[in-house]
Structure 1
Amino acid sequence: MFNDRGYPKGGPGDPFEKQQILDQLRLRVARAHGRQTNSQMRLPVYPDQDRTSLCGPAVFFYALLMDRPDLYAQSIIDLWETGETTIGHLHIKPSYACCNPKNFSNKAPGDRIPPIDWISLASLRDSENGLLNYDSPDDQAAGITFPGAIESWFVKAGASVVFNNIQLGSVNLDRLLELLGFVATAHHVVSLVNAAMVDGGAGVGKNHWILWEGTPETSNGVITPATSLEETITHSNFFSWGMVGHLVTRGYRLDQLLDKIFGGQVFTRIP
């Protein structure tokens, strides 16, 4: 169902060739759940939006990968084979344009975003769009995800909303700690942020989604209500751009971090 116009289906270099998709899925699921493999394939461990604006779908599919790797893999196989899939009550059916993206590859087949991530992330985003097809990694506007869409995806997939403190302006320390208090094995804590807080990120305003896996720390330990806003963040743990770990921009102080966070949403795990 998916075809790179630059490297057409069935031809040399076809990035959506089925065996490649299956190999990527097996490797992704294994690595994400800590299993060793002998594969030399270059593939991010977790869903990676790469050069696209698909951070919202990436957060959802990261959660699905960690909670239900079986559903994660099957949904992508379904999309490849039939052009649609259903996760709980979340129905995903991308447009013809999304399945036949333009400018999908640059110097090599599938080098702008991993093919399994286009199939999953772009399909989810495109299914939600009304007038705008998401048909290219270059398409920024059609890839934007608002908080209501994030909530809808999780709830339709079977999760429940536990907490929400997304706000117009930046959070203060108390609001951030209130949100991060939900970080646990039973919850997913998703935040709307400015990408500049992520090492290598940029932009202005609310332009990126992350998923917290731990509370940031300074040299004095985990941040608390008593932590000075001038202290530098020395450790963090969240998902963004295909990675999980300490991804806060180097040298960021706590006050700078707070300025780039606009609250978040908490969901139960996807059953």
Structure 2
Amino acid sequence: MTAAAFERMNHARAILQRFASAGRPAGAKPPSVAALQQSPVGWPVARDDLVTQIDARLRGTSMPRQLATSYCGPAAFLYCILKDRPDIYVSYAVALWETGHYTFRTGVGHVEVESADRTKASLAAITGRRRGKEQISDLDWMTMAALSASTRPLSALRRGAGPDDVGLSITYPWVLKQWFQAGGSRPQVDSMGLGALKSGLFMFANLMRFWRSHWLVIQIDSSLVTTGAPNTFEQRHWVVVNPNFQPRVRREGQGPWIAMGDIMPDFWKVPQEQAVRAMEGAHLADWPMELSLVTWGKEDFRARMTRLGDIPARFYGGYAFPHFR
């Protein structure tokens, strides 16, 4: 951990400690403590419960996890924020609970997040209808649902989030980019465009060149990690390339593993008559690959599809975002 990262983590823990202590002031009587456990803006989660969940994030024992919701986009963004700027992550969660709003603001953008009444009421509804079953955590619903609902493309749709808002909760590429820019990170590489078409193997490999110094946030067909056939409309899924495991391939299926970003020259090693289609990478399709992703609350979710040829039908594009400062 760098000195800057150590300082940010200490700052995050200090923010959380102040928040926790405010709920149990010295000498306070039980009625006062009970009142301080309640969110001033109506979030149906006790202060102490939120402290426990945030603390687990800072200790690394839990990660943003959307479960059955459509919040893979917010989960990806908040994972990157948590890793680079835990102090901002804690400030965001605490501010939502205390005041109902938070603004991500830097010199390259800003995003205002509000806690709509419907979003808060839906948290209680989720808990009530899924008792005994695994469900999205209070912390994740607060931070993900509020972010998603506050930044929907049309203002008429920003009336809060509900557990069944599958279509409304989709994160469009330009919205995800807006979040990162509000956090101070403008993409150095953008192969998404509007996200209407697949980007291909060449663009995927090119993005992997930035693995060491950037957050690689990509939109895939979920069959890349779960197997099965791709589905253009129902299985789009935002993930982060695991920052602790470099994507790699085995050239022609032989020899040592090499960084996936190092295969760019191999695209052009084709006969002259095939040069026009070299970027499709058909001659690389059988090369084995290893790809680890951050998704569904896990930092090392290995792609079940293990050949470069599995990428083109399952990769819509992505971004290389510099790390948050």
Flag whether TM exceeds 0.5 (same fold).
yes
What is the deviation of 1:66? 0.5
Distance in 2 (CA, whole Å) between partners of 1:110 and 1:94 is: 25
Instruction: Work out the percentage of aligned pairs sharing the same amino acid.
Output: 24
For residues 171-250 of structure 1, the aligned pairs below 5 Å read 171-185=199-213, 187-199=214-226, 204-205=231-232, 207-212=236-241, 213=243, 214-218=246-250, 220=254, 221-222=257-258, 223=260, 224-225=263-264, 226=266, 228-233=284-289, 235-249=290-304
Distance in 2 (CA, whole Å) between partners of 1:171 and 1:232 is: 20
Distance in 2 (CA, whole Å) between partners of 1:184 and 1:90 is: 27
Distance in 1 (CA, whole Å) between partners of 2:227 and 2:142 is: 25
Distance in 1 (CA, whole Å) between partners of 2:317 and 2:119 is: 31
Report if the CA contact (8 A) 1:134-1:142 is conserved. no
TM-score using structure 1 length: 0.81
How large is the RMSD of aligned CA atoms in angstroms? 2.6
What is the deviation of 1:107? 3.5
Query: Which structure carries more helix by proportion?
Result: 2
SS at match of 1:245: strand
SS at match of 2:215: strand
Letter in 2 for 1:215: P
Aligned length: 245
SS at match of 1:176: helix
Distance in 2 (CA, whole Å) between partners of 1:26 and 1:110 is: 23
Distance in 1 (CA, whole Å) between partners of 2:216 and 2:192 is: 12
Q: Report the counterpart of residue 87 of structure 1 in structure 2.
A: 104
Distance in 1 (CA, whole Å) between partners of 2:100 and 2:198 is: 40
Report if the CA contact (8 A) 1:56-1:209 is conserved. yes
Q: Report the counterpart of residue 141 of structure 1 in structure 2.
A: 167
Distance in 1 (CA, whole Å) between partners of 2:58 and 2:132 is: 22
Q: Report the counterpart of residue 41 of structure 1 in structure 2.
A: none
Q: Runs of 5+ in structure 1 lacking a partner?
A: 1-8, 33-44
Report if the CA contact (8 A) 1:179-1:263 is conserved. no
1:98-152 CA-to-partner distances (Å, cap 9, x unmatched) read 1211641244278320111001010100111222344322220111011100111
TM-score using structure 2 length: 0.68
SS at match of 1:101: helix
Distance in 2 (CA, whole Å) between partners of 1:99 and 1:201 is: 36
What is the deviation of 1:242? 1.1
Distance in 1 (CA, whole Å) between partners of 2:97 and 2:197 is: 40
Q: Runs of 5+ in structure 2 lacking a partner?
A: 1-36, 267-282
Quick one: structure 1 residues 241 and 200, their matched pair in 2 at CA, closer, same or farther if it must change by over 3 Å?
farther
Which of 91, 95, 106 lines up with 1:74 in the alignment? Answer: 91
